[in-house]
């Protein structure tokens, strides 16, 4: 682990060339026959108090990267440095997560009060009456009625369950919350309620969010910076306004062009499509990983080494179409 002094000013986390690989097992003895490079050579700094969005298609490695920051996944190469140290126990308190499916992450046999108080109990933070007071305070912070204390998860709506998941995370007074598709399963109306709540909590506690999402409109409104991933790699990263208003990498452009707009003139026939085979993460294309679907691909994209280049104040993966070699 690198010394803490390696962290840039104001950074809470710093990732340098981080790769995470899952073993592929086969046969009766479950021998390891290869690896899926779920995350490859990812570097970025997460600044205290900011919201960094992670976008990209299904299976590109967003959750894996989030899990690595929660120390739930081992890093195969590279380093993750945290301001204040990276011991498992410390991280278990300081970094919390909220998943897409609230019911899946809330034990159905527990009452809401105990679900929210669990972390307080485990870490011995407060006990007895003080613990229950703290739980009630958390309920009101996430705008749930005090009567929710004695209810079970299935007695709440999806939006209320997600509020419970947020209260559970907040109980630990975390510095970073990984929001892994935390609002994707919710109705637009409920999503709006939860996003507003998250914004208020961030302002009040100077929280840092890693916001994993595939909705670029939500990202544009909610995040300060965005990192675009494709097949394990970051393809473009910079301020949300800059990246979404003037995407530079062909993959970011394709992603934006494919996003549907709430505009009756934006009919499906007018949306440009990607063609070409969707590559398997077990066997990624050589060179630029986007080349099997990139509309601008040239033969020598197959031999391009992945590296990030600066373009204004953003970074993009080197790309032949942008004359980067």
Partner 1 sequence: MTPGSATPMTPMSAPSYGQGSAEPTVLAVEALAVRYGDMEVCSDVSLSVRRGEALALIGESGSGKSVTVLAVTGLLGRGGAISRGSVVLDGEEITRLSEKERRRRGLFGRRIGVIFQNPSRALDPVFTVGQQLNEALSLTGLNGREALRSKAAEWLRHVGLPDPEEALDRYPHQLSGGQRQRAMIAIALASEPELLIADEPTTALDVTIQAQVLNLIRRLQRELNLALIIVTHDFGVVAAMADRVSVMYAGEVVETGSVTEIIRDPRHPYTRALLGSLPTGQPGARIEALPGSVPSAGTMPTGCRFHPRCPAAVAECAGEEPRLEPASYGRVLRCLRAEELAAYDA
Ligand X SMILES: Nc1ncnc2c1ncn2[C@@H]1O[C@H](COP(=O)(O)OP(=O)(O)OP(=O)(O)O)[C@@H](O)[C@H]1O
**Residue ranges binding Mg ion (CB under 5 A):** 63
Nearest-angstrom CA–CA distance, 207 and 45: 15
Q: Cα–chain-centroid distance for residue 51?
A: 10
Nearest-angstrom CA–CA distance, 243 and 251: 12
Query: Candidates 60-68, 238-246, 265-273, 309-317 — which segment interacts with ligand X by CB under 6 A?
Result: 60-68
Answer for which of 45, 61, 171, 237 binds ligand X (CB under 6 A) is 61
294 scored as a contact of ligand SF4 (CB under 6 A): yes
Q: What is the DSSP letter of 4?
A: G
141 scored as a contact of partner 1 (CB under 8 A): no
- Give Cβ neighbours of residue 190 (< 8 Å, ≥ 6 apart): 157, 158, 159, 162
User: What φ, ψ does residue 114 adopt, rounded to 5°?
Assistant: -75, -30
220 scored as a contact of ligand X (CB under 6 A): no
Interaction with partner 1 in 3-32: which residues (CB under 8 A)?
none
Stretch 250-269: interaction string toward ligand SF4, x if CB under 6 A: x-------------------
Nearest-angstrom CA–CA distance, 187 and 185: 7
Nearest-angstrom CA–CA distance, 23 and 36: 6
When CB distances are held under 5 to 8 angstroms depending on the partner's kind, the choice from ligand SF4, ligand X, partner 1, none that residue 253 binds is none
Percent helix, strand, coil in the chain, to 5, is: 35, 25, 40
When CB distances are held under 5 to 8 angstroms depending on the partner's kind, the choice from Mg ion, ligand X, partner 1, none that residue 303 binds is none
Q: State in angstroms the smallest separation of the CB of 284 from partner 1.
A: 12
58 scored as a contact of ligand X (CB under 6 A): yes
When CB distances are held under 5 to 8 angstroms depending on the partner's kind, the choice from ligand SF4, partner 1, ligand X, none that residue 179 binds is none
User: Could you tell me the CA-to-CA distances from 129 to 133, 136, 138, 241 in Å, in that order?
Assistant: 6, 11, 14, 47
DSSP H or E segment with residue 44: strand 31-47
Tokens of 108: 């159905």
When CB distances are held under 5 to 8 angstroms depending on the partner's kind, the choice from ligand X, Mg ion, partner 1, none that residue 61 binds is ligand X
Place of tokens 């419970």: 164
189 scored as a contact of ligand X (CB under 6 A): no
CB 231 within 8 A of CB 279: yes
Q: State in angstroms the smallest separation of the CB of 289 from ligand SF4.
A: 8
Nearest-angstrom CA–CA distance, 57 and 112: 33
Q: State in angstroms the smallest separation of the CB of 195 from partner 1.
A: 6
Of residues 130 and 188, the one with the C-beta less far from partner 1: 188
273 scored as a contact of partner 1 (CB under 8 A): yes
Nearest-angstrom CA–CA distance, 237 and 234: 7
**Rg of the chain on CA atoms, in Å:** 21
Query: Candidates 65-73, 81-89, 138-146, 297-305 — which segment interacts with ligand SF4 by CB under 6 A?
Result: 297-305
Of residues 49 and 59, the one with the C-beta less far from ligand X: 59
Place of tokens 């779920």: 38
CB 116 within 8 A of CB 135: yes
Answer for which of 192, 296, 309, 321 binds partner 1 (CB under 8 A) is 192
217 scored as a contact of partner 1 (CB under 8 A): yes
Site residues, ligand SF4 (CB under 6 A): 250, 288, 290-291, 294, 296-298, 301, 304, 319-321
Site residues, partner 1 (CB under 8 A): 57-59, 157-160, 187-193, 195-196, 199, 214-218, 220-222, 240-241, 244, 254-255, 258-264, 266-271, 273-274, 277-280, 293
């Amino acid at each position: 682990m690198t010394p803490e002094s390696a962290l840039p000013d104001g950074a809470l986390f710093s990732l340098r060339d981080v790769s995470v690989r899952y073993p592929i097992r086969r046969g009766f003895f479950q021998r390891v026959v290869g690896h899926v490079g779920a995350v490859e050579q990812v570097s970025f700094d997460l600044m205290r108090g900011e919201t960094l969005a992670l976008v990209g298609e299904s299976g590109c490695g967003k959750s894996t990267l989030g899990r690595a920051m929660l120390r739930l996944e081992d890093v195969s190469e590279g380093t993750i440095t945290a301001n204040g140290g990276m011991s498992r126990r410390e991280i278990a308190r300081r970094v919390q997560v909220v998943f897409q499916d609230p019911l899946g992450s809330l034990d159905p046999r527990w009452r809401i009060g105990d679900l929210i108080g669990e972390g307080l109990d485990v870490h011995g933070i407060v006990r007895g009456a003080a613990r229950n007071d703290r739980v009630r305070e958390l309920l009101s912070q996430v705008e749930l009625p005090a009567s929710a204390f004695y209810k079970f998860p299935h007695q709440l709506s999806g939006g209320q369950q997600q509020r419970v998941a947020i209260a559970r995370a907040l109980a630990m007074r975390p510095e970073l919350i990984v929001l892994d598709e935390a609002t994707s399963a919710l109705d637009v109306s409920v999503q709006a309620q939860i996003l507003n709540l998250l914004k208020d909590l961030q302002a009040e506690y100077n929280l840092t969010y890693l916001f994993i999402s595939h909705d670029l409109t939500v990202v544009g409104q909610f995040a300060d910076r965005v990192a675009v991933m494709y097949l394990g790699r970051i393809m473009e990263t910079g301020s949300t306004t800059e990246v979404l208003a003037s995407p530079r990498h062909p993959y970011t452009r394709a992603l934006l062009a494919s996003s549907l707009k709430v505009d009756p003139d934006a009919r499906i026939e007018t949306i440009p499509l990607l063609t070409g085979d969707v590559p398997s993460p077990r066997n990624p294309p050589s060179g630029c990983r986007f080349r099997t679907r990139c509309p601008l691909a040239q033969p020598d994209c197959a031999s391009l080494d992945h590296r990030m280049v600066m373009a204004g104040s953003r970074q993009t993966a080197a790309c032949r179409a942008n004359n980067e070699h």
